Amino acid sequence: MQRVFSGIQPSGVPTLGNYLGAMRNWVALQADHECLYCVVDLHAITVWQDPATLRQQTREMAAAIIACGVDPERHIVFHQSAVSAHARLAWIFNCVARLGWLNRMTQFKDKAGKDREAASAGLYVYPNLMAADVLAYHATRVPVGDDQRQHLELANDIAQKFNHDYETTFFPVIEPLIIGEAARVMSLRDGTKKMSKSDPSDQSRINLTDETDVIASKIRRARTDAEPLPSEIAGLEGRAEARNLVGIYSALSGISQAEVLAEYGGQGFAGFKDALAALTVDKLAPIAAEMRRLLADPGHIDRVLFAGAARASAIADPIVAEAQALVGFLPRPQV
Ligand code: TYM
């Protein structure tokens, strides 16, 4: 059985983008894979996080993963900082990856913005830690949204260079799984920007915890153009906002984009937005309710995460120990 690994940063409330691009696929993969899903708090602090908020958001993210349908008994849900193998392998990868490779990462450029000198060193080496996350488990399949594609290509470059430098075949090739009609959900305010849990504008996104009326109002107010919806997919060309809403509708309903346009093409956005709002509420309300139920007992969430971390360590520790031996480190003492 192939091993799946994926992660999500506790840097805000999970959004519809996280759900459609990643978490929904995480749930589907459980049937025929061994899955590890990680709340990546080490990644989150590459930009400033208030400590109390980080604690809260880590539990919230764990609750969201479970509420979406991940089974933490059959699979593994844990927080990254509790498994030291990630940081230990990341250090080795810091020494394998080349500056030239990191300089090409578009996410660093986006996140660091104009004042690159003021970005944390962690933000720069972020992709090396991400490679370590996956490779510490010898995971081969990684379900993510489209924005993570470049990072996973880099992870494969790192694995290959490690194998080459140490004359081994130790690290496997990773296959990114970028699935579905909404692998890149865009902001509701600007169809050229991705929907993000860390966007300063709450109107730009649907949070999994949004109340029904908030979801409806955000969708009704979502930016669109003045033309009616096209009847065919080719008519979405150059209309980023329309394309985004049609993609979301298609992903949530399981109906192809062509069929969505066959139904709503030629009409203005008002009726389509009402239908999209109803569909979104229908899919997200049960998840929000389950999240609230889980979050009422934070002790339970902590126990799930601790148990997951112990099981994750049991897989990763021997793999990272072997990587360390290949590098030439003496063994760690048994404690
Ligand atoms: P993060 O926390 O930004 O997002 C978590 C997952 O959600 C997907 N996603 C989206 N998909 C579609 N449309 C969007 N607007 C959208 N926004 C986010 C992301 O692609 C991701 O799959 N670096 C990762 C976390 C990570 C990771 C890993 C992932 C750390 N280590 C190892 C895979 C394997 C990140 O910041 O995701």
- The answer to whether 193 is a known catalytic residue is no
Helix, strand, coil in percent for the chain, rounding step 5: 60, 10, 35
The predicted pLDDT at position 332 comes to 86
- Sketch out the chain's domains with CATH numbers: 3-183+297-327 (3.40.50.620), 202-293 (1.10.240.10)
pLDDT given at position 91: 98
Q: Do residues 305 and 79 make contact, with C-beta atoms less than 8 angstroms apart? A: yes
Residue owning the nearest CA to atom 14 of ligand 1: 17
Mutational test site, ligand 1, from 80, 126, 140, 147, max ligand atoms within 8 Å of CB: 147
Q: How far apart are CA 325 and CA 168, in angstroms?
A: 12
Q: Is 134 in the pocket of ligand 1 (CB under 6 A)?
A: yes
Name the active-site residue from 111, 161, 193, 283.
Answer: 111
Task: Tell me which H or E stretch contains 231.
Answer: none
Backbone angles phi, psi at 78, to 5 degrees: -155, 170
Q: What is the pLDDT of residue 1?
A: 87
d(CA 260, CA 154): 36
Please work out, in degrees rounded to the nearest 5, the angle formed at the alpha carbon of residue 187 by the alpha carbons of 266 and 254. Answer: 55
Where do we find the tokens 């844990």? 78
pLDDT given for residue 30 in this prediction: 98
Q: Report DSSP letters for 12-42, one per residue.
A: S--BHHHIIIIIHHHHHHGGGSEEEEEE-HH
The phi and psi torsions of 208 (rounded to 5 degrees) equal -65, -20
Query: pTM for this structure?
Result: 0.97
Looking only at the bridges linking them, the beta strands covering 175-177 and 34-39 are: unpaired
Ligand 1 pocket member 174 (CB < 6 A): no
**What Cα–Cα distance (Å) separates residue 253 from each residue in 224, 246, 275?**
21, 10, 11
- Ligand 1 centre to CA of 167 (Å) is 32
Long-range contacts of 205-208 (CB under 8 A, 24+ apart): 205/15, 205/16, 205/17, 206/15, 206/16, 206/280, 206/284, 207/13, 207/14, 207/15, 207/16, 208/13, 208/14, 208/15, 208/16, 208/18, 208/19, 208/64, 208/67, 208/284, 208/287, 208/288, 208/291
What SS3 class is residue 76?
Answer: strand
Question: Low-confidence residues of the chain, pLDDT below 50?
Answer: none
Q: In the annotation, is 161 catalytic?
A: no
238: left (phi over 0), alpha (psi -120 to 50) or beta: left
Q: Is residue 159 within a helix (H) or strand (E), and if so which, with residue range?
A: helix 149-165
Q: What is the pLDDT of residue 74?
A: 98
In 10 A of CB 93, how many CB atoms?
A: 25
Strand partners, 6: 37
CA distance 33 to 7: 16
